[in-house]
């Protein structure tokens, strides 16, 4: 398995750790600021759910127990949304923006979605968005059957996090999503933002024509206040046919760490300032440490 900043075949499931900035502006994962946070990246693509399941399950296991619809922030664990409520017999359902369904009882999972015109969860009478376009059931597949998710009139989905069941904004340290029928290398992405709205980086989703793809990031030293998902380069529509330079993409499972209220360190106590450190001894200089430039993969490894 290659290091995180190298080019890699999209067909190979990847779990990589990078503790220093990626040096190329377009890495395997996407675009990141000059001073990048520490993160663990999970990426996979393949023809069906079996092909990506090991990487998705590894991502789940790192986050911990599924907290389901438990109200309030839990001490640890994760939340998931698979859109499959009602099963095979459920009708396709439309939702306004912002979509608060998954932060409202009984599905209190701390996520609210926003886009231009609203959202749809697929269903009967023509599963996998067949009522929008009859070609879509032939290109879309599911990771967790039977239902999928899409914004309407747009390819953008903003995910905002809240204390589950409350209106208090929250943060997470991990978010990942499953996509179906990503055809082009840079048509689909997840961009991560901190609570102040600064971008932590953007990860491109690996292609899998008529198949499934997954990308998830776990941040070690930053917290995510919002993610922006770009699903393909054309929104689903009656006259929008997938193929060539037109990449129509739908979404399946969202998986993210437990939403919690961001904490800030207490201000320094002016009546108890930190101890003054002695100046360095010029006759006993510190040992020279290796620098990132000495080794092209200093601080990076795969496992």
Rounded Cα gap, residues 261 and 282, in angstroms? 46
Residues in the chain: 303
Would you say residue 6 lies in a domain? Answer: no
Q: Is residue 223 part of a domain?
A: yes
Residue 145 is encoded by which pair of tokens? 């059957």
- CA dist 143 and 55 (Å) reads 13
The pLDDT of 287-295, averaged and rounded, is 41
The answer to whether residue 102 is domain-embedded is yes
State the residue range of the domain holding 47: 14-263+296-302
pLDDT tens figures, 91-141: 999 999 999 999 999 999 999 999 999 999 999 999 999 999 999 999 999
Residue 238, domain member (yes or no):
yes
Quick: pLDDT tens for 8-20: 333 334 554 433 2
Q: Does 197 fall in a domain?
A: yes
Domain-embedded: residue 100: yes
In 23-34, which positions are buried (b, 16+ CB within 10 angstroms) versus exposed (e)?
eeeebbbbbbee
Mean pLDDT of the chain: 83
DSSP 43: E
Judge whether 200 and 141 are in contact, CB under 8 Å. no
Within-domain flag for 282: no
Residue 126 lies in a domain: yes
| Dist CA 104 CA 286 (whole Å) | 57
Tens digits of residue pLDDT in 23-79: 222 344 566 554 556 899 999 999 999 999 999 999 999 999 999 999 999 999 999
- Asked if pLDDT for residue 2 goes beyond 50, the answer is no
- Is the model more confident about 273 or about 183? 183
Question: What token pair was written down for 187?
Answer: 């048509």
Q: How many structural domains compose the chain?
A: 1
């Amino acid at each position: 398995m290659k290091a995180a900043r190298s080019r890699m075949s999209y067909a190979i499931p990847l779990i990589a750790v990078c503790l220093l900035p990626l040096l190329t502006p377009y890495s395997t994962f996407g675009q990141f600021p000059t001073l990048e946070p520490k993160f663990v990246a999970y990426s996979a693509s393949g023809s069906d759910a079996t092909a990506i399941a090991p990487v998705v399950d590894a991502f789940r296991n790192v986050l911990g127990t599924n907290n389901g619809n438990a109200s309030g922030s839990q001490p640890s664990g994760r939340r998931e949304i698979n859109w499959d409520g009602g099963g095979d017999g459920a009708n396709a359902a439309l939702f306004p923006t912002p979509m608060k369904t998954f932060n409202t009882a009984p599905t209190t999972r701390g996520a609210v979605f926003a886009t231009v015109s609203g959202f749809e969860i697929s269903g009967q009478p023509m599963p996998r968005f067949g009522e929008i376009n009859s070609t879509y059931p032939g290109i879309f597949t599911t990771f967790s059957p039977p239902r999928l998710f899409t914004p309407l009139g747009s390819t953008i989905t903003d995910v905002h996090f809240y204390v589950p069941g409350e209106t208090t904004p929250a943060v997470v340290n991990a978010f990942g999503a499953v996509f179906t029928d990503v055809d082009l290398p840079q048509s689909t992405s997840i961009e991560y933002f901190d609570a102040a709205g600064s971008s932590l980086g953007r990860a491109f989703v690996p292609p899998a024509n008529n198949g499934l793809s997954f990308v998830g990031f776990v941040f070690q030293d930053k917290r995510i206040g919002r993610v922006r998902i770009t699903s393909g380069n054309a929104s689903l529509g009656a006259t929008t046919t997938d193929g060539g330079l037109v990449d129509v993409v739908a979404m399946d499972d969202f998986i993210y760490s437990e939403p919690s209220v961001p904490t800030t360190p207490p201000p320094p106590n002016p009546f108890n300032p930190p101890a003054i450190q002695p100046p360095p001894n010029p006759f006993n200089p510190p040992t020279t440490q290796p620098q990132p430039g000495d080794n092209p993969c200093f601080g990076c490894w795969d496992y």
